[in-house]
Structures are given as C-alpha cells and as structure tokens.
Amino acid sequence: MAIKLYDLAGENPDRRFSPYCWRTKMALTHKGLEFETIPWRFTDKEKIAFSGSERVPVIVDGDQVVADSWKIATYLEDTYRERPSLFGGVHSRAAALFINSWADTVLNPTLARLLVMGILEHLDPGDRDYFRESREKRFGITLEEFSADVEGNTKALRAVLEPLRLTLASQPFLGGDTPLYADYIVFGSLQWARSIGKTRLLELNDPVEAWRSRLLDSFGGFARNAHGYW
Ligand SMILES: N[C@@H](CCC(=O)N[C@@H](CS)C(=O)NCC(=O)O)C(=O)O
C-alpha cells in the first residue's frame, strides 16, 4: 500500500511549497517507495491531529505514523534498509543532522525574508489571515517590514550559501558523486523558493544553481515537473 504524505499546498492544490515536505518527497523518491500526497493547508490542523503534530510533513505507512522531516528520513532509512541509502552510513547520517540544523536555523530564516510575500500571494484564501497573524507574531514586525530589503536579503542568501558553493566546487553533490539526504535537505529550501517565488534567486553561473539543476532533473525530472517558476 502506498505511503500517504500530508503535503502543504497553496490555493492551487498542485502548488506544493513546504521545504520540509520537499525533503520527504525527495527521500521517498530516492528510496523508490510508492507514495501519494494529500494536499494540506495551514488551517487543516484537525486533519493531522491523529499524528500529534500541527505541522507537515506527516506520513502514514500502514499502521505507522511519523511526523517531522528528519524523523521521517531516519524512519525510512531504518525501515527500508534494502533500498538505496539516504545517508550512506551512520557517520554521514550524523553529519547530515548538522546540515538539517543549519538549513532550519540559518538558510530557511534567510530565505523566509525573500519568500513571505510570495507565500501570502499563493496561499489558499482560508490560510491568509492565519499565516499573516502567526508570522507577524513570530517575527515581531509586519510581513512588509520583514521582507522590505530585497537587495540586502538576496545578498544575505548568496552569502549564506557560500559553504555549499565551496563544497560543490570539488564534488557534484553533498553526498559525493550521487545525491543523498543532505542534498535533499538544502534542495527542499530551494524548491520552496521555486514554488512560490517568481524571482530567480541564484545567478545562472553559480555552482549552486548547476547543482540545483542536476537535482531538478534527477528521478526523471520529478522536482522540475512540480509547479514552480524558475
Ligand atoms: N521541524 C519540522 C518543521 C515542519 C514545519 O515547520 N512545517 C510547516 C510547513 S513548511 C508547517 O506545517 N507549519 C504549520 C504552521 O505554521 O501552522 C520538520 O522538519 O518537519
């Protein structure tokens, strides 16, 4: 039976923009597991209440329910051991947790400033007030103030990506010759940007852009075929 994934969607149910759900979709695809996605909106809390989480991704795999993208990745790795590894071993799994924490605490907050207005624009109308109120409470300023300095925020993003850029100068993927979950963590953030942001955030000659393009094309263009702008 196919694994079910609750996946954040916009007004257009095909616009899937959660960076964390993208990590999970890439992980499921890497493992070659059959899955179906259920479009979920921020205010659909009761639909995932059974999981004990108020956030997506949530997966249902038979009688197993797992919430949180990192927990899902480790669950898939430990449950489907005979399938292609997401981490390539226990030591690289331990190091991937650092990348997960970096993406959550440095990369995503930097991107959020560039993306909040695009998110608002693409949200289901029923989610818009919730999104504005919850985020303005979290940031302590209006969304317009939070996102005002587009030039500065774009520069900050490119600077934050420098460790990735340096790494990709000597290897095609964070996983080495082939992509691993570490790649999907960071790629998920760029899928967030691609799915709701009309502005290209990376220069075409940036090695990060070349890496992103390789991942967009991976698995028969799975990610490139998703709704997005660039
Ligand atoms: N640490 C969690 C974060 C998940 C998360 O923040 N998901 C967002 C969507 S991108 C969400 O469901 N937010 C619900 C809300 O803000 O009410 C993970 O890695 O899965």
Task: Give the atom of ligand 1 at the shortest distance from the alpha carbon of 130.
Answer: 17
0.95 cut: is pTM over it?
Answer: yes
Residues of the chain with pLDDT > 90, as a percent, come to 100
Does ligand 1 have an atom closer than 6 angstroms to the CB of 188?
A: no
> What pLDDT score does 50 carry?
98
Distance 71 CA to ligand 1 centre (A): 13
Q: What is the mean pLDDT of the chain?
A: 98
Distance (Å, whole) CA 46 – CA 53: 10
Distance (Å, whole) CA 155 – CA 185: 21
What pLDDT, in 10s, does the model give residues 7-36? 999 999 999 999 999 999 999 999 999 999
Closest CA to 132 of 140, 124, 142: 142
> What are 145's two structure tokens?
């103030």
> What pLDDT score does 39 carry?
98
Distance 89 CA to ligand 1 centre (A): 27
> What pLDDT score does 115 carry?
98
What pLDDT, in 10s, does the model give residues 75-134? 999 999 999 999 999 999 999 999 999 999 999 999 999 999 999 999 999 999 999 999
Distance (Å, whole) CA 5 – CA 66: 10
DSSP letter string, 147-205: H--HHHHHHHHHHHTHHHHHHHTT-SBTTBSS--HHHHHHHHHHHHHHHH--S--S-TT
Does ligand 1 have an atom closer than 6 angstroms to the CB of 26?
A: no
Decide: 59 and 7 in contact? Cβ < 8 Å.
no
Does ligand 1 have an atom closer than 6 angstroms to the CB of 70?
A: yes
Mutation probe of ligand 1 site: the residue of 17, 45, 56 with most atoms within 8 A of C-beta? 56
Residue 62 — pLDDT band, cuts 50, 70, 90?
very high
Instruction: Measure the N-to-C terminal CA separation of the chain; round to a whole number of Å.
Output: 34
Residue 63 — pLDDT band, cuts 50, 70, 90?
very high
Q: Which residue has the tokens 């317009």?
A: 144
Distance (Å, whole) CA 38 – CA 59: 10
Rounded mean pLDDT, 183-191: 98
Distance 69 CA to ligand 1 centre (A): 9
Helix (H) or strand (E) holding 97: helix 90-102
> What pLDDT score does 44 carry?
98
